[in-house]
Amino acid sequence: MRMLTASTLRWLHTCQRRVWRDVHLEHPPQEKPGLFTTVLTADAPVQRTVVAATWEEGVRLTHAAMQEGVESIAGGYVEAVIDPELFEEPIMLGGRVDRLVRQPDGLYAPVDILREAHVSEADVLRLELYLWILCKLQGVDMLPAAFVLSEQSADTEPEWFEHTYDEARFVQQLAAILHMVAEDEPDVQLIGACKTCHWKPDCYPVAQSHKHVSLLSKLRADTRADLAAKGIHRLDQIVAMHPDELRMIRGIKSGAQAIHASARAWIEEGAIWYGKLHPSCRVPAAFFDIETLKNERGVDEVWSIGWCGLDGRLQLVVVAPVDAHTTVMLPNEQVVNLAPSAEEAWRIFARDVAGTDSPVFHWSPYDAGVMRRTAPDEAIQILGTRLRDLCKLFDDAVKIPVKGVSLKVVAPYFGFNWHGYEDWFAAYMDYRRWLITSDLAALASACAYQRDDVEAMVVIQRWLAEHAPS
């Protein structure tokens, strides 16, 4: 039996293709089996942890907890089958409810925990799905329901938003969703949400083979909608237009030349130069990249800096529990600097590239922003006026047939690949493992990731200098 889950429905207003594929094609439910908790009674609020090894077991255990009459259930599993007489075939609706709260009459009502202080259409649809299921399970037509903000001050009561359920409206909306699901698979539309979608490996090649306009980077939603309304779906249609014609599309003005060049790059399967390369890209330069993690105050803290100076040596500094600047040798015999603080790490890096006015490249504005917010004054004085955003300089001069301008996307086009993982968080976890266990192999893995980020920029800058029109 096909299953339509709450996690799938939250993508309805973002990507109908994802909803269609989640229902029709085999894929593990996004509401994964795991733990949920129950509070036995209001008078004695003792929590009990319940382990569900499978989705089916989670449904059974949640039903048992409701039959027991527990006060509340966090992360309970609910499901119900749509009446086969109402629709063409039975479909299971299911989801994991943030909170199931027992009412004075013994019925259970849903509470949805919001991550932001704004109730979206997807939030309402998810909550009403839970309501529909719970009404069917408990044999009633109406139940109370509410949203609650997830982050509240310890000194204030949680903020609740009561929700009024309109079953007729929800059933009408559900019928429209099922009608969409019953039709042919929607066309591919590459959007920001594709980065974390489990269907990306299937959809991306389709967009490439069709040369779909969504391969273009940085298109606004209203721009995509206006292109579709004008019947422009393929990149060859963009190439056939003059940039002045593109400026008539909503959201495209000064970016017309860049969009036209990007479309050409995809059609011609090669780099298209459309702007003048900045002079700094043609001279000897230094490169740096940082790794950070937000602390408890939400501030980005630097734990690693990698750089390549004018001498071509790749160097690293990591923040460590040491009293003063020292070094450690990795199993591959690379020497890594250890700094007692992020401020000292910035000093070590800045001093190494001091004494010249050569450019210091980074990729995207993030690194420069963190430097200006967190580095000590002496480091800012050395680096501040020399920083150059290589990502912007690259993107302002040339387009290549890739989606996006992430370093992990651009560098492989020029033949560079990361030697280990490409995940910053994996690098952080290896760094943490080294801090806890002193495992130099873990530190070496984290440092290899940092080195590769720097090397990738070196490769791109060299390509720019060698291939840019004179």
Residue 161 has pLDDT above 70, yes or no: yes
pLDDT at 455 over 90: yes
Q: CA-CA distance, 348 to 345, in Å (whole number)?
A: 5
Which architecture characterizes domain 193-269 according to CATH?
Orthogonal Bundle (1.10)
The span from the CA of 152 to the CA of 41, in Å, is 24
- Checking if the pLDDT of 37 tops 80, the result is no
Alpha helices (runs of H) in 212-311, residue ranges in sequence order: 221-229, 235-240, 243-246, 256-268
Asked if pLDDT for residue 41 goes beyond 70, the answer is no
Please state, in angstroms and rounded to a whole number, the distance separating the CA atoms of residues 270 and 457.
19
Cβ atoms of residues 25 and 3 within 8 Å:
no
> Is residue 114 predicted with pLDDT exceeding 70?
yes
| pLDDT reading at 19 higher than 90 | no
Over 60: is that where the pLDDT of 26 sits?
Answer: yes
Average the pLDDT over 18-38 and give the result. 68
Pick from 146, 133, 387: nearest CA to 278: 387
Q: What angle do CA 287, 424, 455 make, to 5 degrees?
A: 30
pLDDT tens digits, 426-453: 999 999 999 999 999 999 999 999 999 9
Query: Does the structure show a pLDDT above 70 at 216?
Result: yes
Contact 434, 299 (CB under 8 A): no
Mean pLDDT, rounded, for 346-356: 97
Closest CA to 346 of 401, 394, 304: 304
Report domain 2-182's class: alpha beta
pLDDT band at 111 (very low <50, low <70, confident <90, very high): very high
Looking at the chain, how many residues does it have?
Answer: 470
Q: Are strands 91-102 and 108-114 parallel, antiparallel or unpaired?
A: antiparallel
> Of all residues in the chain, what percent carry a pLDDT higher than 90?
60
- 470 vs 468: CA distance, rounded Å: 6
Distance, in Å, from the CA atom of 348 to the CA atom of 325, rounded to the nearest integer, reads 8
Ranking 191-195, 251-255, 334-338 by mean pLDDT, the lowest is 191-195
pLDDT of residue 170: 85
Rounded to a whole number of angstroms, the distance between the first and last alpha carbons of the chain is 63
- Give the CA-trace dihedral at 219, 223, 227, 229, to 10 degrees: 150
Domain chopping of the chain, boundaries: 2-182, 193-269, 279-467
Please give the Cα distance from 322 to 255 (Å, whole number).
49
Residue 420 contacts residue 469 (beta carbons within 8 Å): no
Q: Cβ contacts of residue 58 below 8 Å, gap of 6+?
A: 33, 36, 52, 76, 77, 96
Residue 134, classed as helix, strand or coil, is: helix
Contact 448, 419 (CB under 8 A): yes
DSSP class of residue 194?
G
Average pLDDT over residues 329-334: 94
pLDDT band at 196 (very low <50, low <70, confident <90, very high): confident
Q: Give every CB contact of residue 262 below 8 A, 6+ residues apart in sequence.
A: 216, 217, 272, 399
Torsion of CA 373, 377, 378, 384, to 10 degrees: 50
Please state, rounded to an integer, the average pLDDT across all residues of the chain.
89
CA 86 to chain CA centroid, nearest Å: 38
Q: Residue 43 above 70 pLDDT?
A: no
- In the structure, what pLDDT confidence band is assigned to residue 154 with cuts at 50, 70 and 90? very low
pLDDT of res. 291: 97
- Which pLDDT value is given to residue 7? 80
pLDDT above 70: residue 385:
yes
How high is the pLDDT of residue 342? 97
Task: Specify the pLDDT at position 366.
Answer: 96
Name residue 172's amino acid.
Q
User: What residues are paired with 293 via a beta bridge?
Assistant: 301
Residue pair 169/175 in contact (Cβ under 8 Å)? The answer is: no
The answer, yes or no, to whether residue 20 has pLDDT greater than 80, is: yes
The answer to whether 235 and 263 are in contact (CB under 8 A) is yes
- CA gap 38, 51 in Å, rounded: 11
Residue showing tokens 């014609």? 245
Q: Is the pLDDT of residue 62 over 80?
A: yes
Confidence of residue 151 (pLDDT cuts 50, 70, 90): low
pLDDT of res. 153: 45
- Own/partner pairs for 320-326, CB < 8 Å, 24+ apart? 320/435, 321/435
pLDDT beyond 70 at 84: no
Long-range contacts, 440-443 (Cβ 8 Å, 24+): 440/328, 440/330, 440/331, 441/331, 443/318, 443/328, 443/330, 443/336
Are 188 and 200 within 8 A, CB to CB?
no
Q: Above 60 in pLDDT, residue 86?
A: no
Higher pLDDT, 378 or 162: 378
pLDDT at 441: 96
CATH number for region 279-467: 3.30.420.10
